[in-house]
Amino acid sequence: MKKSTMLGLLVLVIRRDLILAMRRRADVLTTLVFFVMVVSLFPLGVGPELSMLRKMAPGVLWVAALLASMLSLGRLFLADYLDGTLEQMMLAPQSLSMLVLGKMTAHWMVSGLPLVLMAPVLGLQFDMAGQALGVLIIGLLLGTPILSMIGAIGAALTLGLRGGGVLLSLLVLPLCIPVLIFGAGAVEAISSGLSIVSHLSLLGAMLVLALVFTPWVTAHALRISME
């Protein structure tokens, strides 16, 4: 009984946030367009040689995904904070961590998943091989939820501050470095014929770790910011 209500709550929060996001589709698209633009700027900056671009592709796509996910983090709690919904969520008898987990999941579906789906197309622009593209997508699928979850801590800490967006990136980016290293590293490993198991396992381990701890830490951060 208890478990089903928790799960029900999770589904409810995710549905609510998805509906809200669909009402403001422009926000979602902005992040995606930003991602595409940043990636497209690199060949213009470093030159169009395909051999170099192929080598750079995983790093460029990952850094761009990292930056794009920072962009949308500011909105994670802001609307609910401004209209008072967040306060009601904190007063609710249900676990705040669970609510937060729901919001994180919805945020990933709205801002992380489109990037994952878009990445192969951009990878083709960089002349990536099919196998490498596959690894890139698996890596992004494992990694982008971690970015959303770590980012949520920063979003909760900087809630309602002036200059929150830049500050948020300053706080969160250093913490995301391991994800970047293993995500881009996996693609590089497959390109040079090495095993990708270690990279992806570590990404998976970080995902599990983040899944357990970040909702709880974010809930604490929200309580600090709201008191």
Which chain residues interact with other proteins by CB under 8 A?
153, 157-158, 161-163, 167, 170-171, 173-175, 177-178, 181-182, 185, 188-189, 202, 206, 217, 220-221, 224-225, 227
What distance, in Å, lies between the first and last C-alpha atoms of the chain?
32
In residues, how long is the chain? 227
Complex with other proteins: residue 6 or 226, whichever CB lies closer: 226
Report in angstroms how near the CB of residue 123 gets to other proteins at its nearest. 21
Judged by CB, which is closer to other proteins: 72, or 158? 158
Q: Which is nearer to other proteins, 125 or 216 (CB)?
A: 216
- Minimum CB separation of residue 22 from other proteins in Å reads 32
User: Among 109, 112, 89, 104, which Cα is nearest to 210's?
Assistant: 104
Query: What letters, b where the CB count within 10 A reaches 16 and e where it falls short, cover 37-60?
Result: ebbeebbeeeeeeeeebbbbbbbb
Nearer Cβ to other proteins (79/175): 175
| Cβ-contact 9, 102 below 8 angstroms | yes
Residue 71's Cα: distance from chain center in Å?
Answer: 10
CB of 131 to other proteins, least distance (A): 18
Helices (H) and strands (E) in the chain, counts: 11, 0
As measured in angstroms, the least distance from the Cβ of 175 to other proteins is: 5
